[in-house]
Amino acid sequence: MRTRRGTAIVETEQGILLNAMPRDSFLLPGGGANFGESRIAATVRELYEETGLKAFHAMFLFSFQSRKNDHKVFWVQAIGVPRPLHEIERIGYYDNNVITHISDRKGTQYRNVGIEHASDSTREIVRLFGEYKMQHQDFFAAMSLYAHRIEQHYDKHSFLSGEPLYAKNGLSMPEDIPITQEPQK
């Protein structure tokens, strides 16, 4: 039986955010949904636990089945500076078939590595996302502008103090983070 996994695609100026546990391949942030937890809630929770990023918007993109996981893949916009937390040892960014800007918990920077250092599932999900994004270029451009405005709106010092964005907005649960419908083809 496959694990119900929520998977985040977080685009940054450096590329698509990836993370890795010790001696493991790079993966997209996310993880298994707890009993009774939705995949969007698992995605937002795991993104925060693994990187400290706080989601303010998420959009379901597609489902993907790997050997181990039944993924629900979400495009997530978040605020904060990603850093390896909890079980995560390193973060990096997927950009043009290379994993760049790799750093660990101590802030040590590592050389770029090829995409073969990412899991097969991560490579395929990133490929599918690239195709999906090409089909909906105008939508993603508009949403990126929206994200930039949100980032400018929030006082970074108070926001990064630990209070989740959904609490600042008066929302009670991570499941209440705004989720847009999939763009129409």
Residue 21 near residue 3, CB atoms below 8 Å: no
pLDDT at 139 over 90: no
Three-class DSSP category at 143: helix
Quick one: tokens of 12? 């940054």
Nearest-5° angle of CA 149, CA 150, CA 153?
85
* DSSP-assigned letters across all residues of 3-39: EEEEEEE-B-SS-EEEEE-TT--BB-SEEEPPTT--H
The listed range with the strongest mean pLDDT (73-77, 161-165, 169-173) is 73-77
What is the average per-residue pLDDT within 151-156? 58
Mean pLDDT rounded to a whole number for the chain = 83
Neighbours of 50 (CB within 10 A): 24
Question: What are the pLDDT digits (tens) for 15-40?
Answer: 999 999 988 899 999 999 999 999 99
pLDDT of 154 reads 60
pLDDT at 160 over 70: no
Residue 48 near residue 79, CB atoms below 8 Å: no
Q: What percent of the chain has pLDDT over 90?
A: 62
Q: What would be the CATH architecture of the domain defined by 3-180? A: Alpha-Beta Complex (3.90)
* Domain boundary assignment for the chain: 3-180
d(CA 107, CA 104): 5
pLDDT of 166 reads 40
pTM of the model: 0.81
Question: What are the pLDDT digits (tens) for 41-64?
Answer: 999 999 999 999 999 889 899 999
Sorted by sequence, the CB contacts under 8 Å of residue 98 that are 6+ apart come out as 112, 113, 114, 115
pLDDT of 153 reads 65
pLDDT of 173 reads 36
Q: How many whole angstroms from its chain centre is CA 95?
A: 15
Nearest-5° angle of CA 146, CA 59, CA 37?
130
pLDDT at 99 over 60: yes
pLDDT of 151 reads 67
**11: nearest Cα among 123, 144, 107:** 144
d(CA 93, CA 18): 5
d(CA 159, CA 152): 12
